[in-house]
Chains A and B, each alone.
Chain A
């Protein structure tokens, strides 16, 4: 067996490659990005044996993966947790149509919101879609999951969700890898009409999916990723999901004193849970994210015995990710002696890189809006430019989810709040902004859209932007008046004329678009270095 030093994300990717993956689609998002970057770097993808692409958004990624699955191939789509909101439609309906070749949906949750706007728990999506879900506890399991998940997907013809959380996604360990299953040949799905979700067919498919629910529980009970240890003091029983199992082993020196159910595959292994409930005085639930397992064990109304402890009872904090210290406290272990935190360090929030074109755009906005500050609002979006909210800029008023800048500006403008400005990045625009711009055009809404086009997906490390150098023609195609599509270069030397352009377009009482185009300073540096070295990096 060979070993590799792999992030949890990379271990999952390598496991999929070795399990016969043919196609991988994704939209970048922390902490999921490295899954797809690992595949892109793989010899298989470089040789064209595996198709691996950044898609316009998570929905198109998952649908492309479903198409590859329809063709009989093993396929997957990868995204961050909020990306599954965008892909929820194909995810839930692919469970009805069913998969043909194995279909994985890899989702990296971000409890504690290190780089996200919420800490939603993707296990609930698996339950919503009535499909199995895997949650590896370490990198070795992350490598092992795809082989089993693809099998499960093909056996029951359902998509399977694989959930990672930030700490596993972004932690490296030595992983034993080896063996490569050949890819599936092209083949037609049996009962191909199941992919036509007309009500009469969908009803039958839904019955079939519901009928498989007990099978999924049996699969969980037989799964190597779920393990019940009945040893130890039964005054307490512990359920440890995903990475929480490692924290439990850490604080007990690898030998917990109580029975433990390790959970790495859902739906919950009912037989093991029942054993724990029947034999233990109290139950402690350790899980990243929502009190999902805890809610299931607690039931409604709360049963009297055994008592269920977890995030809902305050034994574990209700929000935020787990840590070994939190798990130790939940077990009643005393805290270790440590130094008090110093009061001297100041917070160090992220900021625009020196020379960032977004900073220049923010300065233009600040100058144009200073005289209109009472009424003007800047609706912004997800990307580096969201840092325009922080000092010294303070020029944006909102950032909610991908694409919401243009659409919120539209609604606010029609409600009477003007000037309404939308500030959105090039990749966010092609992800979810184009449809909103079409709404604005159709309503001739008084909105000024600024697309800050740095020619890359900068926030996640510089992936290729979906519509490089095609933004003008896209806006024209959506029906924006040619005279009100303006292209500027955000740079200190152009400040004065850029202020004039923004001022004119804000005064125009219809939909206008300003494309502020200059390459991201980070990717520009990288490509300059690459050029100097003849493309060796």
Chain B
């Protein structure tokens, strides 16, 4: 098996935490893994992206080739749209629907969502709303990850172990909130909308 995933979002959304979760989950299963990320100015509200690649054979390149990603998983809809050229033609798209409008001329959100809905399969989730309902507003990034479960190629238990490993050293309440957020996303994605 092999998965090539593009993670996309905006600085401060917790995107690199998702990369760490996937990395720890794949490592826990003894899979080969490479996970590249662009940090640097990420903290300051710019674009953040990560390439996550794992499988049972060695992974050579740290970067995903265009047209080969199995999944684009985004924490922001415009960022999802930005990386579609990486997606293979039958690859999946999972994105939070809530825009981060930290630029003066943010495009029409409906147009963005319309372009995203063309992708089959796709899952567009209002993760913040779900996370707030569950009392874990900080965990909306994990909600999106949970919503992507059908396309991640990893079992739920491995991902939960990945969450525990990635947040090891954080307060127990933080780990629990993240596990809860992930579970919300998983439940959401399993109910046909």
Chain A residues in the interface with B (C-beta under 8 A): 3, 5, 30-31, 114-115, 166-168, 170-174, 243, 246-247, 249-251, 254, 323-325, 328, 335-342, 344-353, 384, 387, 391-392, 459, 461, 522, 533, 536-537
Contact = CB atoms under 8 A, between A and B. Distances in A.
Given A251-B61, A339-B87, A351-B45, 16 more contacts: A115-B41, A167-B36, A167-B62, A168-B62, A170-B38, A171-B35, A247-B60, A251-B65, A336-B68, A338-B86, A341-B84, A344-B112, A348-B47, A350-B42, A350-B44, A384-B44
Interface in B17-43: 23-24, 27, 32-43
A345 B81 contact: yes
Interface stretch (B99-107, B144-152, B180-188): B99-107
Given A173-B34, A353-B43, A345 B27 contact: no
Most buried by B among A114, A338, A346, A392: A338
A170 B81 contact: no
B45 A342 contact: no
Contact of B60 (A5, A250, A339): A250
B46 A350 contact: yes
Contacts of B6: none
A41 to B, nearest CB: 11
Contact of A170 (B23, B36, B64): B36
Given A336-B67, A337-B67, A338-B67, A536 B169 contact: yes
A383 to B, nearest CB: 11
A174 B33 contact: yes
A31 to B, nearest CB: 7
B56 interface: no
Nearest to B86: A338
A172 B68 contact: no
Contact of A174 (B27, B63, B105): B27
Contacts of B35: 171-173
B18 to A, nearest CB: 13
A336 B65 contact: yes
Interface residues of B, number: 56
Interface string B97-131: 00000111111000110010000000000000000
Contacts of B104: 391-392
Contact of B84 (A114, A173, A342): A342
Contacts of B39: 30-31, 170
30 contacts: A114-B38, A114-B40, A115-B40, A115-B41, A167-B36, A170-B36, A170-B39, A171-B51, A246-B61, A246-B62, A249-B61, A251-B61, A251-B65, A323-B65, A335-B66, A335-B67, A336-B68, A337-B89, A338-B85, A338-B88, A341-B84, A341-B85, A345-B79, A346-B78, A346-B106, A347-B103, A351-B102, A353-B12, A536-B169, A536-B171
B11 interface: yes
A387 B111 CA distance: 30
Nearest to A4: B27
Contacts of B85: 338-341
Given A246-B62, A384-B44, A344 B78 contact: yes
A336 B4 CA distance: 15
B15 interface: no
A348 B112 contact: no
B65 A345 contact: no
B62 A350 contact: no
A348 B13 CA distance: 14
B45 A339 contact: no
Contacts of A324: 61, 63-65
A344 B85 CA distance: 13
